[in-house]
Structure 1
C-alpha cells in the first residue's frame, strides 16, 4: 500500500502550529472512514499521531495514541513507558493508482498488522544499543515484522478476543521483547491494528471515535 506520512518526526502529538498552519487533526477530519481508539473505559491522556495518504491525497490510515507519549530520548526509560496506539486502516479493494499507470494492493488485516508492527519499532529499541547501530537493527526487525504480518496464520500469532464497539472480536496477537502487536477487522469497513508497551492488551476495548478533536492537544 503506497502511502505517505502527513505528520513527520518522533511519534506523539505534533508541536503547536503557527496561526493558519495545518493542524495535525486536519488530516483525520478529511478521512472518509471512522477512526477507532480505546473505548471509554480508558480514562488517560489521548493524543494524535499521524495519517498516511495515497498519492492523490486520500487518507488511507492513521493512528491515535493513549497513555504516555513514547519517547526515543536517551533519558527516557522504555521499560517505564505505558502507551497503546490504535491504527485504523480503511478497507480498500484492489484499485487503479492515481495516475492510472498501475494497480494498488487491497488493504487487509495484514496491512494493519504491518503498520502496527512497524509503529512499535519506530518508538522503541534496546536501551543498551548504540545509536549508530539503530538503523541496522531497525532494518532487521522491520523485515521480521513484514514477514510476520504476511503470515497471520503462522506460529508467531495467537488469538485474542477483545470488544470492538461492544462486540467480541478476534484479533491476531503477538508479544515481543519490546511490546505487543495485534490486528483484526472492525464492523465499520476498516481494519484495526494496535501496539503498545507497559499496558496490557488483554484488558483493552476499541470503539469508534465520536469526536476526533478530543485527541488534539
Structure 2
C-alpha cells in the first residue's frame, strides 16, 4: 500500500528519499515550478511523484475554473521489477510506461473534473473516468495514442501522446525511470524534459 506525502517540508523530504532522479521541464520553461506529491510504499521506498509547472490545480476549491488553468505536470516513476510487498503477503507489479501513462491520465482527471457537476456525482464520474484511463494506458499501441518525440536531457525521446477534452497526456521512458506528463493550456509540442538538479529550489 502506498501513502503520499503532503506539501511543505514533508514533500521535499519525500523527494530527497528517492533512489532515482526526478524529471521536470527543462530550462526553456521560465515560469513557476512547484512540488506535487510523492508516493511511498509501506517499507518507505519512494515509488513515484510529480512536479508541476505553471498554475497549480486544486481539487479543494470550486472557485478555480479548470478552463482557465495553464499547467504541465511531469510524473517520474521508478523502474521496479515485480516484487513482494513489505509485509510479504502480496506481490507488487513491475512498473512500466503504462504505469506512468495511467498516473498521468488519472492526475489530469483529478484536477479538471467538470465544475458544474453535482457533488454527489463527482466521485462516480471520477471513478469511471479513472478506470477508463487505466484501460487506455494499458493499450499504448492502440488507436487512442499517437507518437510525439521530445528532448529528454537533450536526447530525442519517443512518447505516447493523446489529447482529450480535459487536456493532454503522454508517457515514455528515460534513464532508470518511466516518465508521464499531463497538462492543460500549455501545448506539449515544443516542451523539453530534464533531470531536476536541486529539488529544494521548487516551491512547496
TM-score, normalization by structure 2: 0.95
Matched, 1:129 2:117: yes
Q: Report 1:89-168 matches (<5 A).
A: 89-168=77-156
The CA deviation at 1:54 is 1.2
1:52 paired to 2:35: no
CA-CA distance at 1:122 after TM superposition:
1.0
Q: Match of 2:124, SS?
A: helix
Matched, 1:65 2:52: yes
**Which of the residues 159, 180, 189 maps onto 1:202?**
189
Partner Cα distance (1:178, 1:41) in 2:
25
1:74 partnered with 2:73: no
CA displacement 1:104-162 (0-9 Å, x = unmatched): 11000000001101111111112321222111110110111010011111111111111
Secondary structure of the equivalent of 2:189? helix
Gap regions ≥5 residues in structure 1: 8-13, 17-21
8 Å CA contact retained: 1:25, 1:216: no
Deviation per residue, 1:69-91 (Å, 9 max, x gap) = 11342222211100000000000
Tell me what 1:37 maps to.
24
* Alignment coverage as a number of residue pairs: 203
The answer to whether residue 172 in structure 2 is matched with residue 184 in structure 1 is yes
Tell me the distance in 1 between the aligned counterparts of 2:116 and 2:17: 41
SS state of the match for residue 125, structure 1? coil
CA distance in 1, matches of 2:88, 2:62: 46
Are the equivalent residues in 2 in contact too, given 1:88–1:191 (CA < 8 A)? Answer: yes
**Distance change >3 Å, CA 101–CA 165, structure 1 → 2:** same
RMSD in angstroms over aligned alpha carbons?
A: 1.2
Could you tell me which of 190, 193, 201 is aligned with 2:180?
193
**Equivalent-residue separation in structure 2 for 1:102 and 1:71 (angstroms):** 34
